[in-house]
Amino acid sequence: MNVIDHVRLSESGERLVILDQSELPNRKIYLELESAEAMYEAIKALRVRGAPAIGIFAGFAMYVLALRMPERPEFDAEFRKAAEYLNSSRPTAVNLSWALKRMIKVLENNKKAAKAELLPLLRNEAQAILDEDIAMCRAISEYGMSLLKPGDGVLTHCNAGPLATSRYGTAIGPILLAKEKGIEVHAFADETRPLLQGARLTSFELHEAGVDVTLICDNMASIVMKSGKVQYCFVGCDRVAANGDTANKIGTSGVAILAKHYGIPFYVLGPSSTVDLNTPTGTDIVIEERDGDEIRSKWYSEPMAPEGVKCYNPAFDVTDHTLITGIITEKGICREPYTESLKNLFR
C-alpha cells in the first residue's frame, strides 16, 4: 500500500513539512513551516487535520520551534507559551493537548539538561508519537477487520484514513487492510458537509488504494442503509468521554441515529489517546464553531445564500454512547458499560 507522507521534518530537520489537505484532491501541495503563527494557521485552516495527525504535527512542531528558542531557563517559559498558543487552535481534539503535554514532560524530566542536550530528546519524543501512531493504526485496523467478511458494505463519515492519522488510519483502516489481504468490501463515503472531507479526502484515499468506493451526499445515508447495502458504520473520533460519548465531525450523530433505526452496528475507531477520562460525558466537550462562510460560499463561485443570513456552523457533534455498538482502540474493542471498559484500557 502506498504510504501518504503528510507530516514530516524537512531534509535539514529545521522545518516542518505538511501535505496541505485543504488543496486535495486536485493539487498535492507541500508546505514548509517554521513559525508558531504558520503552525497555528495550518491547524485552524485544516491544512493538517484529523485528531492523531494533529498530535503528530504538534510533536514535530514543538521540536522545530524549540530550535529557535533561547538557552535555558528562558527556553522553558517560551516552550510552554508556544504549546499553549498551539493548543488554542482547535479545542475539541484531545490529541493536540495530549501531544503537547508529552513534549512538555520532556522538559520536566530533564530539568538540568542544556538546550543542546534537550533538542535530540524532543525530536525523539516527536518521532515516538509518530511511530506509536503507526503501530496503533495497524492494531486498530486488525481489530476492525476482524468484524468484516467479503462483500460487506461499510459506511464512513468525514475522514479518518491515512491523511488524518498515519499509514492505515482508523475508521477506514480496516477497509484498507482488508483490501491488502484480498478481502473485498464496499465502502460508502459520506460527502461530509460543509468542508467535504469525505468527498475530497476519504474517497481520494480509498480510490487511490483500489477500494470499491461510492461517494454519497450526507442526506443519502438513510436510503443506502435502508436498501441493505450497509452492514457496518465505521467512524473516527476526536474525543471520547469517560461514559463513551464521542465527539466527531458534524453529522456523525445523525449517522449513528440512522444506524440504530436500521439495526446496523455502529463502531467508533480511534487510538486510546483520544479517550479522555477527565471528561465525564459528551456535554462536557467543547464544540468548535467555525465561520458561517463555509456554509454560505466556500465551494461556490458565488454565494448560495443571501448576504447577511445567519449561519450556524459547529465543526463537531457528540454521539451518545447508547448509539455506539463498540469503541475500537489499539487495545481491543470496548463495549458497554463504557465507564468500565474504557477505564480498563489504562490498567
pLDDT along the chain (347 residues), means of 10: 80 96 93 98 94 93 98 96 95 86 97 96 97 94 98 97 89 96 97 96 94 98 98 96 98 98 98 92 95 94 94 97 98 98 94
| 184: in domain | yes
At residue 1, the pLDDT reads: 59
20 catalytic? Reply is no
User: How far is it, in rounded angstroms, from Cα 13 to Cα 17?
Assistant: 10
| 2: in domain | no
| 1: in domain | no
User: How far is it, in rounded angstroms, from Cα 280 to Cα 188?
Assistant: 32
User: Around Cβ 287, how many Cβ atoms within 10 Å?
Assistant: 14
Total number of residues shown for the chain? 347
| 73: in domain | yes
My answer on whether 157 and 291 are in the same domain is yes
- Residue at 148: amino acid letter: L
Question: Which cell is 230 given?
Answer: 450497509
Q: Report the sign of the C-alpha dihedral through residues 182, 185, 190, 191, in that order.
A: positive
At residue 341, the pLDDT reads: 98
My answer on whether 122 and 238 are in the same domain is no
Question: Which cell is 203 given?
Answer: 474517497
- Mapped onto helix, strand or coil, the DSSP state of residue 92 is coil
Residue 287 is given by DSSP the state P
Cα separation values, 317 from 128, 129, 131, 261, 289, Å: 31, 27, 30, 19, 11
At residue 3, the pLDDT reads: 61
Question: Which cell is 130 given?
Answer: 509518530
At residue 167, the pLDDT reads: 82
My answer on whether 115 and 196 are in the same domain is no
Describe the crossing of helices 74-87 and 94-109 by its angle, rounded to 10 degrees. 170
Q: If you search the block for the grid coordinates 448560495, which residue do you land on?
A: 304
At residue 2, the pLDDT reads: 61
At residue 323, the pLDDT reads: 98
Alpha carbon 126 to chain centroid, angstroms: 17
Alpha carbon 214 to chain centroid, angstroms: 22
- The CATH number for 71's domain is 1.20.120.420
Number of domains in the chain: 2
| Residue ranges making up the domain that contains 20 | 7-137
- Mapped onto helix, strand or coil, the DSSP state of residue 338 is helix
Catalytic residue among 190, 238, 245, 317: 238
My answer on whether 89 and 160 are in the same domain is no
Enter the pTM of the model: 0.86
Q: SS3 breakdown of the chain: % helix, strand, coil, rounded to 5?
A: 45, 15, 40
My answer on whether 191 and 226 are in the same domain is yes
At residue 319, the pLDDT reads: 98
My answer on whether 175 and 296 are in the same domain is yes
User: How far is it, in rounded angstroms, from Cα 25 to Cα 32?
Assistant: 19
- Mapped onto helix, strand or coil, the DSSP state of residue 224 is helix
User: How far is it, in rounded angstroms, from Cα 8 to Cα 96?
Assistant: 16
- Spatial contact of 44 and 90, defined as CB atoms under 8 Å apart: yes
Q: Among 137, 165, 196, where does a domain finish?
A: 137
